[in-house]
Amino acid sequence: MKTLVAPLLALGLACVCGAVAAQTPAINPMPDGSRDLYLGAGAVSAPLYLGARERQVRALPLLQLQWSNGVFVSGLMAGMHLSRQPTVEYGPLVALHSGRDRHGSKAVGSVTDPAAGGRISIQDEFGNLGETGLPRPGTAGLAGMDEIAARPQLGLFANLYLNPTLRVTNSVLYGAGNARDGLAWSIGLQRAALELTAHHRLTLAAGMTLVNRQHNASFFGVTGAESMRSGFAPYAPGGGVRDVSLSAGWNWALSPQWMLASSVRVVRVNGDARHSPLVQRPTSVSVSSGLAYRF
């Protein structure tokens, strides 16, 4: 039986990052009519947005729910396993892509005050004005840039197990950005269920995200009007590889019901996104940890 070890490791990051890196739960054979539920809360420290220098710490809920019919909910993502083969997973996928305002990514479902954008604390400063009266790029967040609304995305996932603990993951999601035409394809290699000691398990993963021109333009482009308001140089990126990543997750089973799930993820912005004037630091590290209870 495949267990729900890996999915919790990505929940914190999936809830706060601008793009959901879809790590779908493994097929978990259960008796008909049953369900498996993890619920808890945690915190994540991450850049304000992909490529930002400033960071924020945000509280957020942890959620992992799977039914015996293959339907699952994992953070801001839901889908359904259609395959009954032990080495292949595929099915439809829906996800919510977080929005973005002048302060960076706006996480949905934060357990903190929504009016504050879910932020507990933000390092560095915002709102400094240059001599021209325009915000200095890199010191005023994204002031002057258009706000990007949160958007639902539709897509598919397809995973292949190379052996019982090593799987290749694929997901395609469409609908991000104000024009709802952003397309992202996430590819990954995941090594799960490395047992360090009793009750301690480690998951390792490497991934890459490819996007279309519209997706990059929404999150890394600068229009003429935005340039005049923000002080950033105009920029029109194309599509291609947006980022590559490495991540590690640690699950500590405190009891049969309680689990402490922690993760660290390193992301490197690449391609046309890397050359955007919005990118202040192409390599970033995000760290999350949360306590979850299994019902």
pLDDT in tens, 210-241: 999 999 999 999 999 999 999 999 999 999 99
The sign of the torsion formed by the CA atoms of 105, 106, 109, 114 equals positive
Please, which pLDDT band fits residue 139 given cuts at 50, 70 and 90?
A: very low
User: Would 206 be classed as within a structural domain?
Assistant: yes
User: Would 2 be classed as within a structural domain?
Assistant: no
Tallying the residues shown for the chain, one arrives at: 295
Residue 195's pLDDT is 87
Q: Which residue has the tokens 């009891």?
A: 255
Residues 143, 133: contact at Cβ < 8 Å?
Answer: no
User: Would 95 be classed as within a structural domain?
Assistant: yes
Taking only the tens place, the pLDDT of each residue in 110-135 is: 332 323 233 322 233 333 333 333 44
Half-sphere exposure of 277 (CA within 13 A, CB side): 17
Kindly report the pTM of this predicted structure.
0.82
Query: What's the CA angle centered on 271, arms 266 and 274, to 5 degrees?
Result: 65
User: Would 1 be classed as within a structural domain?
Assistant: no
User: Would 37 be classed as within a structural domain?
Assistant: yes
Please, which pLDDT band fits residue 61 given cuts at 50, 70 and 90?
A: confident
User: Would 80 be classed as within a structural domain?
Assistant: yes
At residue 125, what is the residue type? E
* % residues pLDDT > 70 (the chain): 79
Q: Which residue has the tokens 């973005």?
A: 100
User: Would 58 be classed as within a structural domain?
Assistant: yes
Residue 103's pLDDT is 85
Taking only the tens place, the pLDDT of each residue in 159-208 is: 999 999 999 999 999 999 999 999 999 999 999 878 888 999 999 999 99
User: Would 235 be classed as within a structural domain?
Assistant: yes
Task: Work out whether strand 99-101 and strand 88-97 pair parallel, antiparallel, or are unpaired.
Answer: unpaired
Tell me which residue range forms the domain holding 59: 7-124+131-294
CA 213 to chain centre: 20
Taking only the tens place, the pLDDT of each residue in 80-100 is: 999 989 899 999 999 999 999
How many domains is the chain partitioned into structurally?
1
Q: The domain that contains 225 carries what CATH number?
A: 2.40.160.40
